């Protein structure tokens, strides 16, 4: 089989070289985007008078036939044609004859593949904004249902202070909001057209790059042809954003694994999101959460892999850059799976409020409030800290909690203690005492939910407007 670029060569490509250098096994995922870009390109060639109208129509009809073959699974990809671009072009020429060879006028595979990836990631960024919105919706609903549920708050995985479970969930709403905003911000750097840059220096044909950008819905055109074909920052940024999303999902996954254990028993995950053991019939394993936690590593790996590929590459295009796609596709699939599963896993999890309350009643997470109590009575904080440290030690040695102590016992540590200390130590009082913006007090959390719902509505509007414009 002769190569479409084989005029300068006197020998066939070695079979091992063909297998090693071909990318069709993975870049066929860009088939729809390749057709999309080619249709816009050939339309521009006709509009600029570079190709006659009859040729343009034949090529467009042929491309639509190839598109139909792709969608029906009828297109046979071969490594001899190397990549998705050459496979489509060869199929086009087979369908409509030599006129199909005019499609590549005024472009290179270098600017063609960059365009395909911009088109591909542009869709994925919007898709992930939508999936993050669904996850935030699930978290907000669960938070609203648990405005009275108190849980131990942790630092160093040691019980620290009581907080509302809703407050804990809202922390993740905030994390995913930052992720969503990063994706939205990155969109303008994905929404750039490289086509027309040629191999590296532009083209001698009088093309209209801005017309192509308008046809494909791109907001901007690359200013520099060298940059256009060698830039992979937009992929790195996506991989970085995906890594942070997976990191946040991984943190939540770890808490789900802990909370669903017998030792914590704070939640129970729905059977639909767990699996069993092949040998221990009593087991209910939080495999989805564990896999999300584990797959975070492969997403990190894809980011660092591409950063390493691009390190020290001279301008402009180099074959090394073929390595930009597999990690990107893998990250897209990994993130899709994680986000699609996480929202329903959150929605269906059962919250064991009694167990959470029992945990709060059987710890010393209200100790800080005693220190604040003494400070309000005039004792310097450092002295109050020491008093409470000794009080807690006394309780541990005597196997009791702070609310179990008599007022006489309290007074042995400070004469400032009065009977009102018992009201101060109640979990609800401890929680609601943190009545500052961003704090865990119930009214503050309710207001935070209201603000988050407003921000979520704005994100939904952004997504709706985008999808309407894309129709």
Q: CB of 216 within 8 A of CB of 40?
A: yes
Active site residue ranges: 156, 277
Decide: helix, strand or coil at residue 219: coil
Residue with tokens 């979520």: 456
Q: CB of 268 within 8 A of CB of 349?
A: yes
- CA atoms of 259 and 164, how far apart (whole Å): 15
Q: Which two tokens stand for residue 433?
A: 């005492």
At residue 6, the pLDDT reads: 65
Q: CB of 220 within 8 A of CB of 192?
A: yes
At residue 13, the pLDDT reads: 74
Q: CB of 248 within 8 A of CB of 175?
A: yes
At residue 466, the pLDDT reads: 86
- CA atoms of 137 and 123, how far apart (whole Å): 22
- CA atoms of 226 and 277, how far apart (whole Å): 55
- CA atoms of 63 and 79, how far apart (whole Å): 20
At residue 277, the pLDDT reads: 81
At residue 2, the pLDDT reads: 63
DSSP bridge partners of 152: 162
What is the reported pTM?
0.93
Decide: helix, strand or coil at residue 152: strand
Per-residue pLDDT of the chain (471 residues; tens, 9 = 90+): 466 656 666 677 777 877 777 899 999 999 999 999 999 999 999 999 999 999 999 999 999 999 999 999 999 999 999 999 999 999 999 999 999 999 999 999 999 999 999 999 999 999 999 999 999 999 999 999 999 999 999 999 999 999 999 999 999 999 999 999 999 999 999 999 999 999 999 999 999 999 999 999 999 999 999 999 999 999 999 999 999 999 999 999 999 999 999 999 999 999 999 988 888 888 899 999 999 999 999 999 999 999 999 999 999 999 999 999 999 999 999 999 999 999 999 999 999 999 999 999 988 989 989 999 999 999 999 999 999 999 999 999 999 999 999 999 999 999 999 999 999 999 999 999 999 999 999 999 999 999 999 999 999 999 998 888 877
Residue 276 C-alpha from the chain's centroid: 28
- CA atoms of 351 and 345, how far apart (whole Å): 12
- What number of H helices and E strands is found in the chain? 19, 6
Residue with tokens 């109208």: 53
At residue 1, the pLDDT reads: 47
Q: How many residues does the chain have?
A: 471
């Amino acid at each position: 089989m002769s190569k479409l670029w084989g005029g300068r060569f006197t020998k066939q490509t070695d079979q091992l070289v063909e297998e090693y250098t071909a990318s069709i096994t993975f870049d066929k995922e860009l088939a729809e985007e390749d057709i999309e870009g080619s249709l816009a390109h050939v339309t521009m060639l006709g509009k600029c008078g570079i190709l006659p109208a009859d040729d343009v129509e034949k090529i467009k009809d042929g491309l639509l036939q190839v598109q139909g073959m792709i969608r029906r699974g009828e297109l046979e990809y071969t490594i001899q044609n190397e990549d998705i671009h050459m496979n489509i072009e060869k199929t086009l020429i087979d369908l409509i004859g030599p006129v199909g060879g005019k499609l590549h006028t005024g472009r290179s595979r270098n600017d063609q593949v960059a365009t395909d990836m911009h088109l591909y990631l542009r869709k994925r960024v919007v898709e992930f904004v939508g999936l993050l919105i669904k996850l935030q919706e699930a978290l907000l609903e669960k938070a609203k249902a648990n405005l009275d549920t108190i849980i131990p708050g942790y630092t160093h995985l040691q019980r620290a202070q009581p907080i509302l479970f809703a407050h804990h969930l809202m922390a993740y709403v905030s994390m995913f909001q930052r992720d969503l905003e990063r994706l939205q911000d990155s969109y303008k750097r994905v929404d750039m057209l490289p086509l027309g840059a040629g191999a590296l220096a532009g083209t001698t044909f009088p093309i209209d790059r801005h017309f192509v950008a308008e046809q494909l819905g791109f907001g901007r055109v690359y200013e520099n042809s060298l940059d256009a074909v060698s830039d992979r920052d937009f992929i790195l940024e996506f991989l970085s954003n995906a890594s942070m999303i997976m990191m946040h999902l991984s943190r939540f996954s770890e808490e789900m694994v802990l909370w669903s254990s017998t030792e914590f028993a704070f939640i129970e995950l729905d059977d639909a999101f767990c699996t069993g053991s092949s040998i221990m019939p009593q087991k209910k394993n939080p495999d989805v959460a564990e896999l999300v936690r584990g797959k975070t590593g492969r997403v990190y790996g894809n980011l660092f892999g591409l950063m390493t590929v691009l390190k020290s590459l001279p301008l402009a295009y180099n074959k090394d850059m073929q390595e930009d796609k597999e990690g990107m596709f893998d990250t897209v699939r990994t993130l899709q799976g994680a986000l699609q599963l996480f929202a329903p896993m959150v929605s269906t999890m059962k919250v064991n409020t009694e167990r959470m309350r029992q945990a709060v009643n059987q710890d010393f997470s209200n100790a800080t409030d005693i220190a604040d109590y003494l400070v309000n009575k005039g004792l310097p904080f450092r002295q109050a800290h020491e008093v409470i440290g000794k009080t807690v030690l006394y309780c541990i040695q005597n196997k009791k909690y702070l609310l179990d102590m008599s007022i006489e016992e309290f007074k042995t540590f400070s004469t400032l203690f009065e009977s009102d200390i018992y009201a101060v130590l109640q979990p609800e009082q401890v929680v609601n005492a943190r009545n500052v913006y961003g704090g865990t007090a119930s009214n503050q959390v309710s207001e935070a939910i209201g603000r988050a719902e407003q921000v979520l509505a704005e994100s939904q509007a952004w997504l709706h407007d985008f999808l309407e414009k894309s129709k």
